[in-house]
Chains A and B, each alone.
Chain A
């Protein structure tokens, strides 16, 4: 199955150095990695290893200090602010640990937000149905639980049917049961809709649901594992 797929994202000798005043910190170095179209990837590693940094660079939220990152053959490290914006709007859905919904917009409006950019999206109501929140459309984020907010954030990300879904600790603030529901949703995106899903976590149990597991340690990729038969998120236990 995997061998038919094309390379969607490719890291070529990527490095990232943070400079704050006189302090220089090398967060990533010599990162070489390929992510296939439609793949479900879990990035695993201890705190401070550089997982978020890696993920953020795929979404163009952060720029690489050295090396190249290709997306569908295009070098996104050369994009300016405007091109990166277009890239994120059209091709990338992002889900964060802390949901990052707009507090003054209802669940429905948070999803419908993408229409503002003139992007074709699925009906926001439908997207909310998909995440099981059909009846909470008119609620503001402050009126919902953490899991519900995270699901709105996923609905917002998938509503525009992106090629790539980036998730940074999407279950970090959730209990096991809600976390499992969120994982199910994400896995579905890859399995059913053929979207590429990249998820960062420090919870090694999640590795079982991925097609590919990328281990990050001390700022570089230390190992890559493949699961021939990824586990259903339903069956996951932790």
Chain B
């Protein structure tokens, strides 16, 4: 008996193939999207936590021009400080096996207690040990192994070392060797660790301390208590030290660390939204399909009941259709999501972050979501079948009560009688099959919203990659000076290259509600550094007030006309200025003011950047020790094109999902509606209606649904874009441009899809078997 039901199930699945395929696809994408985003996120969470915990990643990082042993002692005596590692960081060169010289960041250490090395090969470091520990990316790229001899170079001095180990270090999670790299490119340069006794110069200049606090042991899962502890220690340390260019950052302020956290937060958010969208459409699909099967099987179910099959057996039988589909969809969706989207996201993270433990992981959340999808789909099937099955056999066998055929209250309007026959017919049909219509509209909504998102995302990326360089800093060359270069030197260069001088430094902003670390830009006169408003229109630099970037304004709770206080980290003095404008940039967030205003409030203008339109040879870096980097306009454009490649994939994925959702939903409902109307279509044909005329009537209905769907769906594209393309971080801002073109494209594409899909379905009208279609109801 059970076997017969099984055979029946396969036949039913085959007969309603398209409808079940639609349910499958929706469940598949829900699981796919979740798994594709969750697996790299879970991997990130677990592996970074392990990496940072094993290496005792610093709770507080302190940098300054130089530290003495007294400073070290002062920090060590701050309350709750557990351990401090003080190092000297310099950038020199390393000679590869082929004789080439590569840049090398060298860290000289005297202990390895905070932000420790993660030893991957070789001997563990002990204070006083000779030799060098090099990073694993570089070792791999240049085929270095433990025991090899290498030559290091710093300011003309060569020194030979033996490689003692291959390691990594959490301080270097997002490391770039100097400003010529706008993003990490591990393996292209080296970072390595040596004992302080190996320092090549006479006097070692310590410039960094990593601090571990006694009461903070969490890494990724920082608690509010940890946060308070770190903030308190930060203030204590600042009070204990009085230094030039002092910065004290808690772990949460650290760029590498906060990028991990914001990646995780961001992914979790998308993970919560996207699957829900698909599940919503899947539910509608289950309801329409199961209701339709129930209606078709009405007599059959009655007969089964009359034959003595229990209600539970029949119910379980019909629910199992959906359960089986959902289980298959979730398993395959999770697996495919893991290996495609997951792997692709994972590749991006490992390219830009150094994490030896990096991996993809299946989380409990994944299992939970898959089970939830199956349960939701099954329960939906249950409720769709219940209504019919709870009746007794005799009631079920009685034919369905007649349905009201009108279009509802709108028929009362005068206009109604003026409508064409086709419109009246379609409106009544839409009203009669409300659920099918709603499913269609929702599906098209999802599709059109995703399309708008994809197109607008693409536009934003195109703008983003060039906008800042072309409009805010429209200079051919950008010269960056090393820390501590004096005013006179920079001024001389600015005269020589007819450039605009800027002072760019970190700054602490303080408002009534908050205090945070940002970037301050003080601009000398010139037109190579400009500001834009929220609409991306260039605005004048305010003269007697400062300008805040959008994110700084939001997070500090300060608007135009308000006052804001700021100070250079490490200095005691606070400055107060009025905010005269808010500017939008995807670059550093913070405060911008003119040199005149800065000097008026007694600030000392120390320029460290020049923008110029005159040609600056790249070779300047090697010839002039005060220059840290020379970056041309082209360099910037090239590197931002490189980064946007990864995001281009994202655009393609969104577009792909949009089209698949559109095709599946439209095809599914098109076929459903065709099959339900097949008798009417045959009737019209018998009456002599030409096939094209019938097709056009039916096309109108799908055009109405597509029209409603795009109308309601497209507006959601913008918030969806912001959701995907916005950072909750206080110091990162993106530019999203949403013009009319994404809407036009999405609108047209939806209609083209709709017309093509329906044309395919309706091509059957010509060859419809009238006799067969009009045979009595079975």
Given contacts A104-B432, A141-B405, contact A98 B774 (CB under 8 A): yes
Binds B, one of A28-36, A43-51, A78-86, A227-235: A78-86
Across the interface, do B428 and A88 meet the contact criterion of CB distance under 8 Å? no
Across the interface, do A109 and B405 meet the contact criterion of CB distance under 8 Å? no
Across the interface, do B403 and A88 meet the contact criterion of CB distance under 8 Å? no
Given contacts A104-B428, A142-B402, contact A61 B770 (CB under 8 A): yes
User: In the assembled complex, how far is the CB of residue A88 from the closest CB belonging to chain B, in whole angstroms?
Assistant: 4
Q: B691 near A: Cβ within 8 Å?
A: yes
User: In the assembled complex, how far is the CB of residue B690 from the closest CB belonging to chain A, in whole angstroms?
Assistant: 5
A52, A62, A104, A114: residue with the most chain B Cβ atoms closer than 10 Å: A104
Closest residue of chain B to A96 (Cβ to Cβ) is B774
- B688 neighbours in A (Cβ, 8 Å): 85-90, 92, 114, 117, 119
Closest residue of chain B to A112 (Cβ to Cβ) is B421
User: In the assembled complex, how far is the CB of residue A100 from the closest CB belonging to chain B, in whole angstroms?
Assistant: 5
User: In the assembled complex, how far is the CB of residue B426 from the closest CB belonging to chain A, in whole angstroms?
Assistant: 9
Across the interface, do B403 and A142 meet the contact criterion of CB distance under 8 Å? yes
Q: A59 near B: Cβ within 8 Å?
A: yes
- B691 neighbours in A (Cβ, 8 Å): 81-82, 85
B683, B684, B776: residue with the most chain A Cβ atoms closer than 10 Å: B683
- A114 neighbours in B (Cβ, 8 Å): 687-688
- A17 neighbours in B (Cβ, 8 Å): none
User: In the assembled complex, how far is the CB of residue A50 from the closest CB belonging to chain B, in whole angstroms?
Assistant: 13
Interface residues of B in 738-773 (CB under 8 A from A): 766, 770-771
User: In the assembled complex, how far is the CB of residue B430 from the closest CB belonging to chain A, in whole angstroms?
Assistant: 10
Across the interface, do B405 and A59 meet the contact criterion of CB distance under 8 Å? no
Closest residue of chain A to B425 (Cβ to Cβ) is A104
- B563 neighbours in A (Cβ, 8 Å): none
A98, A102, A156: residue with the most chain B Cβ atoms closer than 10 Å: A102
Across the interface, do A116 and B689 meet the contact criterion of CB distance under 8 Å? yes
Given contacts A140-B406, A141-B405, contact A89 B689 (CB under 8 A): yes
Across the interface, do A142 and B405 meet the contact criterion of CB distance under 8 Å? yes
CA distance A142 to B685 in the complex (A): 22
Q: A72 near B: Cβ within 8 Å?
A: no
CA distance A206 to B454 in the complex (A): 69
CA distance A113 to B424 in the complex (A): 12
Interface string of A124-152 (1 = CB under 8 A from B): 00000000000000001111000000000
Closest residue of chain B to A157 (Cβ to Cβ) is B687
Give the size category of A's interface with B.
35 or more
Interface string of A51-79 (1 = CB under 8 A from B): 01000100101100000000000000000
Across the interface, do A109 and B683 meet the contact criterion of CB distance under 8 Å? no
CA distance A82 to B776 in the complex (A): 26
A59, A109, A116, A141: residue with the most chain B Cβ atoms closer than 10 Å: A116
Across the interface, do A100 and B429 meet the contact criterion of CB distance under 8 Å? no
Interface string of B227-267 (1 = CB under 8 A from A): 00000000000000000000000000000000000000000
Contacting B679 at CB < 8 Å: which of A94, A100, A105? A100
Interface string of B403-438 (1 = CB under 8 A from A): 111100000000000000110110011001000000
- A98 neighbours in B (Cβ, 8 Å): 774, 776-777
Across the interface, do A100 and B683 meet the contact criterion of CB distance under 8 Å? yes
Closest residue of chain B to A172 (Cβ to Cβ) is B776
Closest residue of chain B to A140 (Cβ to Cβ) is B405
Across the interface, do A61 and B425 meet the contact criterion of CB distance under 8 Å? no
- B653 neighbours in A (Cβ, 8 Å): none
User: In the assembled complex, how far is the CB of residue A102 from the closest CB belonging to chain B, in whole angstroms?
Assistant: 5
Q: B222 near A: Cβ within 8 Å?
A: no
Across the interface, do B421 and A103 meet the contact criterion of CB distance under 8 Å? no
Contacting B680 at CB < 8 Å: which of A61, A102, A142? A102
Closest residue of chain B to A103 (Cβ to Cβ) is B405
CA distance A25 to B695 in the complex (A): 33
CA distance A82 to B398 in the complex (A): 40
- A62 neighbours in B (Cβ, 8 Å): 770-771
Q: B120 near A: Cβ within 8 Å?
A: no
Given contacts A140-B406, A143-B402, contact A116 B421 (CB under 8 A): yes
Closest residue of chain B to A87 (Cβ to Cβ) is B688
CA distance A62 to B404 in the complex (A): 33
Q: A158 near B: Cβ within 8 Å?
A: no
Q: A182 near B: Cβ within 8 Å?
A: no
B432, B693, B771: residue with the most chain A Cβ atoms closer than 10 Å: B771
Q: A178 near B: Cβ within 8 Å?
A: no
Across the interface, do B687 and A88 meet the contact criterion of CB distance under 8 Å? yes
- B687 neighbours in A (Cβ, 8 Å): 88-89, 94, 113-114, 117, 156
Interface residues of B in 662-706 (CB under 8 A from A): 679-680, 682-691, 693
- A119 neighbours in B (Cβ, 8 Å): 688
Closest residue of chain A to B428 (Cβ to Cβ) is A104
- A100 neighbours in B (Cβ, 8 Å): 679, 682-683, 686, 774
- B770 neighbours in A (Cβ, 8 Å): 56, 61-62
Closest residue of chain B to A89 (Cβ to Cβ) is B688
Across the interface, do B686 and A88 meet the contact criterion of CB distance under 8 Å? yes
A115, A119, A140: residue with the most chain B Cβ atoms closer than 10 Å: A140
Q: A12 near B: Cβ within 8 Å?
A: no
CA distance A96 to B691 in the complex (A): 21
CA distance A54 to B490 in the complex (A): 102
Q: A97 near B: Cβ within 8 Å?
A: yes
Interface string of A160-179 (1 = CB under 8 A from B): 00000000000000000000
Across the interface, do B405 and A81 meet the contact criterion of CB distance under 8 Å? no
User: In the assembled complex, how far is the CB of residue A8 from the closest CB belonging to chain B, in whole angstroms?
Assistant: 18
Contacting B425 at CB < 8 Å: which of A102, A142, A143? A102
Across the interface, do A101 and B405 meet the contact criterion of CB distance under 8 Å? no
Across the interface, do B771 and A61 meet the contact criterion of CB distance under 8 Å? yes
Across the interface, do B405 and A94 meet the contact criterion of CB distance under 8 Å? no
CA distance A156 to B683 in the complex (A): 12
Across the interface, do A82 and B690 meet the contact criterion of CB distance under 8 Å? yes
Across the interface, do A104 and B405 meet the contact criterion of CB distance under 8 Å? yes
Closest residue of chain B to A55 (Cβ to Cβ) is B771
Across the interface, do A117 and B689 meet the contact criterion of CB distance under 8 Å? yes
CA distance A228 to B424 in the complex (A): 49
Across the interface, do B683 and A102 meet the contact criterion of CB distance under 8 Å? yes
CA distance A86 to B682 in the complex (A): 15
- B693 neighbours in A (Cβ, 8 Å): 116-117
Across the interface, do B421 and A113 meet the contact criterion of CB distance under 8 Å? yes
User: In the assembled complex, how far is the CB of residue A121 from the closest CB belonging to chain B, in whole angstroms?
Assistant: 11
- B686 neighbours in A (Cβ, 8 Å): 59, 61, 88, 94, 100
- A96 neighbours in B (Cβ, 8 Å): 774
A86, A88, A92, A112: residue with the most chain B Cβ atoms closer than 10 Å: A88
CA distance A81 to B432 in the complex (A): 31
Closest residue of chain A to B776 (Cβ to Cβ) is A98
Given contacts A88-B687, A140-B406, contact A105 B766 (CB under 8 A): no
- B777 neighbours in A (Cβ, 8 Å): 98
Q: List 12 A-B contacts (CB under 8 A).
A: A88-B686, A92-B688, A94-B687, A100-B679, A102-B683, A104-B405, A104-B429, A105-B405, A116-B421, A116-B422, A117-B687, A119-B688
Binding site for A on B (CB under 8 A): 402-406, 421-422, 424-425, 428-429, 432, 679-680, 682-691, 693, 766, 770-771, 774, 776-777
Which 10 residue pairs spanning A and B have beta carbons closest together? A89-B688, A142-B402, A140-B405, A88-B688, A104-B428, A100-B683, A61-B770, A85-B690, A98-B776, A85-B688
* 18 additional A-B residue pairs with CB within 8 Å, beyond A56-B771, A140-B404: A62-B770, A81-B766, A85-B691, A87-B688, A88-B686, A94-B687, A102-B680, A104-B428, A104-B680, A105-B405, A113-B684, A113-B687, A116-B689, A117-B693, A119-B688, A140-B406, A142-B405, A143-B402
